[in-house]
Amino acid sequence: MQNGPVQERSAYARESDGDLLVYMSMAKDDPAASRSAWEEFYSRHATYLYAVCFRAYGCLLGGEPGVCDLVADTFRRAYEHAGTFEDGGVTDSTRQRIRARAWLGRIAQRLVQSALRSRSRTPMRFLDQWEWQNLAQARPKAPKAGPQIKSVREALMALPEREQLVLRVTMQWYRPGELHQRLPNEVTSDLARTLQTTPENLRQIRRRALHKVEGLLRDAEAQTKKREERDG
Amino acid sequence: MTAKEGHSPEQSAGAESASAGIGEAAILLGWIVPTREEDVLCAERDLAAGPVTLPERLRDVKSVFEGMGQVLPKVEISRFVPDNPQVDAALARAAREAGRLTSEIEERMRCDRKAAEEEREKDGHGKDVR
């Protein structure tokens, strides 16, 4: 990636991400070091975070200005809560970079969830302590992108806009490894208002969309089976 | 919202299983920001296909830090603009190519901006205050 933040060569350029976060967490004892560490951290990850946030939330946040706010806010929270980052005993700098980016992603995701909950322009609440502790925890491993994922991807893109929107918002609460994905009531109500329908109809839309995807998956599976039988 | 209400356990199980599949596909589609290490790696590979340009506002590290002391405009969800894969691909390409935009993309960005401005003009109850 190129065209990142403009910054002079930092004294912290050789520090690992884990160490930068430790320096950042010492803002009270050494504000200058803390700030320099944050600047280095920002320089390393801002372009990445902007790119993934734009891809995920550009359409929900109104494009570039909203995504810029989200990225700035994410780094601000990362600075304020640097002490909650857990390096998991990882010393390899590449693994630390990936771990730090996953952590930044979790912060951004929580901020978007919070914004979705407070669309009625009530002040965005700060993340609770338990949420910060939860952010630090490792997540279940992601499955490999097999043919089933490819089929789901195709099915998702084929859904009507309304169903896509419902699933897209629902997916912001997707928790890997958990079966029941619950959308907060206030988000359900707000989304229903946006679509000029009722929360019950919204549930129907979601259910219908999920069944469509399920059906498409079954068809894809049956076709694969048939092909395998035919090919012996 | 769970898939518990008003339908059979088989339907629920099917919908929830589809939901999990959709969640994983949504990550691969980039609908969800990567929060697991494996997903970060995938995203990095996707992004390596071309350079990404950081908007002017985020390019000056020092001013972003100075801005942290102030009250940031809070993250707000604007009107949803459904994805158009072709426009999205062109937007991503334009971002990589330092902002050369076609008229279709400019129109999409104009609509995005207008929707965001309209949203900002509403009060806490969604009423227009202009």
What is the nearest CA distance from B42 to chain A, expressed in angstroms?
Answer: 10
Residue B116 lies in a domain: yes
Q: Looking at domain A142-232, which of 1.10.10.10, 3.10.20.600, 1.10.1060.10, 1.25.40.10 is its CATH number? A: 1.10.10.10
Six-digit token string for A167: 């699933």
Nearest to A61 among B27, B78, B122 (CB): B78
Interface probe for A, chosen from B77, B79, B87, B112 (most Cβ of A below 10 Å), is B77
Domain membership of residue B110 as a residue range? 73-130
Q: Number of structural domains, chain B?
A: 1
Crossing angle between the packed helical segments A17-24 and A31-61, to the nearest 10 degrees: 110
Residue B32 lies in a domain: no
Give the helix/strand (H/E) hosting B104.
helix B103-120
Residue B82 lies in a domain: yes
Q: What ipTM was predicted for this assembly?
A: 0.73
Confidence of residue A145 (pLDDT cuts 50, 70, 90): low
What is the nearest CA distance from B3 to chain A, expressed in angstroms?
Answer: 7
Beta-carbon separation of B43 and A52 below 8 A: yes
Q: Does residue A65 surpass a pLDDT of 60?
A: yes
What is the nearest CA distance from A105 to chain B, expressed in angstroms?
Answer: 5
What is the nearest CA distance from A232 to chain B, expressed in angstroms?
Answer: 28
Backbone angles phi, psi at A211, to 5 degrees: -65, -35
Rounded CA-CA distance A86/B102 in Å is 44
What is the nearest CA distance from B62 to chain A, expressed in angstroms?
Answer: 7
Rounded CA-CA distance A163/A160 in Å is 6
Residue B93 lies in a domain: yes
Beta-carbon separation of B1 and A206 below 8 A: yes
Amino acid identity at A12: Y
CB A1 within 8 A of CB A47: yes
Beta-carbon separation of B21 and A188 below 8 A: no
pLDDT digits (tens, 9 = 90+) for A115-140: 877 653 333 333 444 444 444 444 44
Nearest to B28 among A59, A75, A149 (CB): A149
Residue B6 lies in a domain: no
Residue given tokens 């679509």 in the structure block: A195
Q: What is the pLDDT of residue A180?
A: 57
CB A199 within 8 A of CB A190: no
Beta-carbon separation of B25 and A156 below 8 A: yes
Interface probe for A, chosen from B1, B10, B44 (most Cβ of A below 10 Å), is B1
Q: What is the pLDDT of residue A19?
A: 94
Q: Which of A135, A205, A142 lies closest to A169 in space, CA to CA?
A: A205
Residue B110 lies in a domain: yes
What is the nearest CA distance from B50 to chain A, expressed in angstroms?
Answer: 7
Higher pLDDT, A161 or A177: A161
Residue B14 lies in a domain: no
Comparing alpha-carbon positions, the chain A residue that sits nearest to B117 is A62
Six-digit token string for A87: 């390096």
Which chain A positions have a beta carbon within 8 Å of B122's beta carbon?
121
Higher pLDDT, A30 or B121: A30
Domain boundaries, chain A: 7-138, 142-232
Q: What is the pLDDT of residue B31?
A: 83
Rounded CA-CA distance B31/A105 in Å is 12
Beta bridge partners of B128: B122
Confidence of residue A165 (pLDDT cuts 50, 70, 90): confident
Residue given tokens 């206030």 in the structure block: A186
Residue B96 lies in a domain: yes
Nearest to A214 among B4, B15, B51 (CB): B15
Mean pLDDT, rounded, of chain A: 79
Which chain A positions have a beta carbon within 8 Å of B128's beta carbon?
none
Rounded CA-CA distance A75/B120 in Å is 24
Question: What is the dihedral sign for C-alpha A22, A104, B34, A169?
Answer: positive
Positions of chain B with pLDDT under 70: 1-21, 69-130
Give the helix/strand (H/E) hosting A109.
helix A93-117
Alpha carbon A28 to chain centroid distance? 30
Beta-carbon separation of B29 and A153 below 8 A: yes
Q: Which of B39, B63, B106, B98 lies closest to A1 in space, CA to CA?
A: B98
